[in-house]
Amino acid sequence: MKEAEQQLIALLGKEHVRVHESMAQHTTFKTGGPADLFLLPHTAQEVAEAIRILRMYQIPYMVIGNGSNLLVCDGGIRGAVIQLSAMQQVEIQEDMLSVQCGALLSTAAAQAAQASLTGLEFAAGIPGTFGGAVVMNAGAYGGEMKDVLCSVEVLTEELEIVTLPVEVLELSYRHSIIPEKQYIVLGGTLRLQMGQQDTIYAKMAELAQQRREKQPLQYPSAGSTFKRPEGYFAGKLISDAGLKGKTIGDAQVSEKHAGFIVNMGHATAKDILDLIAYCQAEVEKQFGVRLETEIKIVGEV
């Protein structure tokens, strides 16, 4: 590990290679144990070369964006975490946005609005990055990434950089082929439409108000904890099961929206996992529906 660390420092710089980095600092849940190595590349070439070094030393790795859909277990992550948040450029040309993987969706939506481009308003309140949003076809308030995405640039398992049209990604509800192909999203292009700036800002303000009214934004969380079961709504099932406000440790089923599990202060990942399991068991017992997690759970218990 030490030799690999030295090579990674030579590649990325000492300040961009961290040892035993607490993942609580890099997830919106604000919990989770340390990663053995934490890497912050700034270019696609650095990503590819860092992975080549890790593979040479047989060090496992995972790639993250803003950590907004992630629960890291208390034992932390063995191997390396590669965070792509430094790659955050957004460029606009006519009705096209070119967005790097680490750019926040909220930033891309704000720049689109500033350019009087409509179609990305739904994404203004999503806390994740462009790369993560593409991987899971993120969406809200009737809009999804597949509605506006044209193409993506990915790093393949063979460490080649290729551009793929949106049609081959098989985007559907919270799904793409990117994880199964083991692609890493580096960036992509969005096609929007010219609109009236005042109307765009008004729509964004309306959606922001809906979020504030319906979602527990004052507490750390990873957004919707569970996927929407076919024919049901996860939050309603949990609420109907009498679980609103249910706590284990400092983890709570939000009293504002039962589809969210929140960190009330010092929740451990175990608190959250135990509460997830409790909700799943109660909903299945009462309604015969098995809730599937939308958040990604990683690391060692």
Q: Which residues are known catalytic residues?
A: 174, 224, 294
230 three-state secondary structure: coil
Rounded CA-CA distance 278/268 in Å is 15
Rounded CA-CA distance 86/115 in Å is 23
Question: Smallest Cα–Cα separation from 107: which of 24, 92, 95?
Answer: 92
Measured CA angle at 219 (ends 61, 280), to 5 deg: 70
Spatial CB neighbours of 252, under 8 Å, sequence gap ≥ 6: 219, 245, 246, 261, 262, 264, 275
Rounded CA-CA distance 136/152 in Å is 13
